[in-house]
Amino acid sequence: MLTDDYTLAILPLACLIAEKPVTAPSIYHKVLRSGVLGYQLYTYHNLVRARFSEQVEQRVRERQLALLSHLGEFGPLLAIINDAVDIGAVTTPTSQGEVVTPVEMTVALALLLGLPESLHYVTHPGQRGEEIARMSPEIDWYFADLLAHGRREMVEIFATLVDKATQGSATDSGVRKRLHPAAAL
């Protein structure tokens, strides 16, 4: 099966680095683009860990970060995403019931407030509430929607890649058996 750490690292790169249209105001383009890419990397790493192992995931992560280093430093970005995902979805009680804010909203706000390239970057936790109030209307929800779409896209890509690698391996094995009977041993 074509699932060594190098192959797993390079398979999704074409999708990851493809420029995807973002219709948000241009002042948000860089943070939205890097945030979606980071969230897709984070998602991919978790899928690799769940399917293969933590050791394989670590090697894939190291290879991908090295391959993508020309685009920026993703280590801090992935740390912000990991911390936000650890918080998870937020449930807020209201007079009409509970409102669940998806984990992508937590990630979106963490990135909007925590990435130095963001217009809303803050260095002190006490500044967060005030800075959230200054954000363009709905940018946080728009960003959360982009992140959720990026996650779904990465899950589909991963499933396709693993299926093709598995099918390719079975096909290769069958061809080898037909071409060389000793290969069946």
Q: What are 74-104's pLDDT values in tens digits? A: 999 999 999 999 999 889 888 999 989 999 9
Enter the pTM of the model: 0.82
Q: What is the pLDDT at residue 155?
A: 95
Q: What are 11-45's pLDDT values in tens digits? A: 888 777 776 666 666 789 889 999 999 999 999 99
Compute CA distances 81 → 35, 64, 75, 104, 181, whole Å: 9, 17, 10, 9, 51
More confident residue, 142 or 10: 142
Residue 183 has pLDDT above 70, yes or no: no
What number of H helices and E strands is found in the chain?
8, 2
Q: What is the pLDDT at residue 119?
A: 92
CB neighbour class for 143 (10 Å; exposed up to 12, middle 13-18, buried from 19): buried
**Residue 76: half-sphere exposure toward Cβ, Cα within 13 Å:** 8
Q: What is the pLDDT at residue 127?
A: 92
Instruction: Provide mean pLDDT across the span 147-165.
Output: 89
Q: What is the DSSP string of 5-19?
A: HHHHHHTTHHHHHS-
Pick the closest to residue 3 from 56, 40, 41 (CA basis). Answer: 56
